[in-house]
Amino acid sequence: MSVQTFDAILEDPFTHELDPSIVTMKHIRKKPLLKGSCPYPQHLSDDLVRHLVHGFEGFYLVVLGAIPEFSASVFFGTSQAQAIADSIDEIRAEGKVDLRLLELVIGGQCVEGQLSFLDQSITEWFGGECYNHHLRTVAALDQFIEDEGLRVRAAMAQELDQLKGQAEARRLAEKTAKAQALLAAKRLLAEERAAERMRVAEDQRQEKALIAEERAAELQWVRKQAKATRALDKQRRAILLQEGRLPVEDQASGNNGAEASGTDISQGLDSVGTNKRFKPREGQAEELACRQFDRIMAQQRKVEEQARQRDEASQVLLTDLKEKQEQRASRRAEADTLRENNEACKAAAKRRRLDTIVNNRMAAESNRAKSAKEHQAKLLRKARTEETMAEVRSELERGGI
């Protein structure tokens, strides 16, 4: 390409041949180097480096003689030994040394038999005291970690059993408290019902006693009235018997005849008050009539007085009945008020029981949530402990501790 051919190449680039001196540069890809991933502690890696360097110095003197032209570190020094130590887990995989990888790590063999010597030296180091002591230390640490893990698990299991026992004890205590509260509520309700029955029975007994007293008073009053009536009839018959004006049949029958006839004594008298069966003497008719009239009027007044007394007694009895009815109504009103109060108390007690049940349920839910949180915290602590133990194990394996 030149100034003269530039425009022609732009118009038709395929008609002109390219300049063979123009070459496309390519990046040569290098083989990837091994990354050092030595799992051994630093003191163990340093011991391997010293072992390889010291062994190669002896090998170098044997191969090149007692007075070589160059020192052994020129061909195999600390840097090559450190490269082997950094990749020792890859070089010696599955108990065998990879010679190709070993040659790649050290940059190639400088002395005849160098790779075989390094293979033998690495094998000797793995069978040496330092590496075996490291293995024993790691095994002891593994056993310690395992024992510590078992101890921590046992302690956590014991703590969990203790927490379960405490939770069970709390549950039993709550259950016992609920049962006792329910029993106390039932006992209180039974006592209230018994007291209510006793009050009702006492009211009924008092009412029956008052009714019996009223009936007894009425019966006594009736008996007194009947007794007074019989006494009055007897007195009448006695007066008539003394005066000789009692009929013959009444004298024969006595009191029974007078009570059975049921007629008034005045029926045995005529219009002037004399006995029809007896004829008075002359001159005594007017006197007998006056006396008979006075007696009749006295008896009539007495009967009227008795009727008035009966009316007054009836009025008193009616007043007593009204007062007793009022007292009975007041007692019933008091009983109704007491019953309403008892029902209100029962409703309040029922509401209190329901509130207690709701509060107990809320407390139980709170306890369950608290137990769940404690269990979750315990699991988190266990996970953190396991993570810490894993970190400690890895640090021990790397030789950080």
What mean pLDDT is predicted for residues 194-204? 88
Mean pLDDT check: name the lowest of 70-79, 243-252, 262-271: 262-271
Going by pLDDT thresholds of 50, 70 and 90, the confidence category of residue 258 is: very low
What mean pLDDT is predicted for residues 111-120? 87
What mean pLDDT is predicted for residues 233-239? 78
pLDDT at 28: 67
What mean pLDDT is predicted for residues 191-195? 90
SS (H, E, C) the chain: CCCCCHHHHHHCHHHCCCCCCCCCCCCCCCCCCCCCCCCCCHHHHHHHHHHHHHHHHHHHHHHHCCCCCCCHHHCCCHHHHHHHHHCHHHHEECCEECHHHHHHHHCCCCCCCHHHHHHHHHHHHHCCHHHHHHHHHHHHHHHHHHHHHHHHHHHHHHHHHHHHHHHHHHHHHHHHHHHHHHHHHHHHHHHHHHHHHHHHHHHHHHHHHHHHHHHHHHHHHHHHHHHHHHHHHHHHHHHHHHHCCCCHHHHHHCHHHHHHHCCCHHHHECCCCCECCCCCCCCCHHHHHHHHHHHHHHHHHHHHHHHHHHHHHHHHHHHHHHHHHHHHHHHHHHHHHHHHHHHHHHHHHHHHHHHHHHHHHHHHHHHHHHHHHHHHHHHHHHHHHHHHHHHHHHHHHHCCC
pLDDT at 278 over 80: no
pLDDT in tens, 214-223: 888 888 888 8
pLDDT at 288: 66
pLDDT at 322: 83
Going by pLDDT thresholds of 50, 70 and 90, the confidence category of residue 238 is: confident
pLDDT in tens, 343-394: 888 888 888 888 888 888 888 888 888 888 888 888 888 888 888 888 887 7
pLDDT in tens, 319-339: 877 888 888 888 888 888 888
What mean pLDDT is predicted for residues 73-82? 87
pLDDT at 249: 45
Of 72-76, 181-185, 207-211, the range with the highest mean pLDDT is 181-185
